[in-house]
């Protein structure tokens, strides 16, 4: 008999990621506490890290001025 793939709602996934990122709890420990496979939690944490801009990325994007060749205003011009 094959095992069935379990589906977790977005609220559960986000909460699980917050446990790891907010407390620094190791993924295997947090996964065991939640009753899920550590590989599952690892993939959620990795995906969240890829999809969440870091502070230095946001700062660089906010201050970067595009050149006309990049499809934006010229350097030094106001937006």
Q: Where along the chain do its domains lie?
A: 8-52
The pLDDT score that the predictor gives to residue 54 is 73
Q: Which ranges constitute the DSSP H helices of the chain?
A: 10-23, 27-34, 38-51, 55-63
Given a cut of 80, whether residue 36 has pLDDT beyond it is: yes
Given a cut of 80, whether residue 26 has pLDDT beyond it is: yes
CATH fold group of domain 8-52: Arc Repressor Mutant, subunit A (1.10.10)
Tokens of 79: 């937006």
Tokens of 45: 């944490």
Tokens 């890829």 belong to which residue? 50
Q: pLDDT over 70 for what percent of the chain?
A: 66
């Amino acid at each position: 008999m094959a095992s069935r793939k379990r589906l977790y709602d977005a609220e559960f996934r986000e909460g699980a990621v917050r446990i790891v990122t907010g407390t620094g709890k190791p993924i295997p420990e947090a996964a065991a506490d939640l009753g899920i496979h550590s590989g599952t939690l690892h993939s959620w944490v990795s995906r969240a890290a890829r999809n969440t801009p870091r502070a230095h990325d946001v700062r660089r994007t906010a201050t970067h001025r595009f050149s006309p060749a990049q499809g934006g205003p010229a350097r030094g011009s106001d937006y």
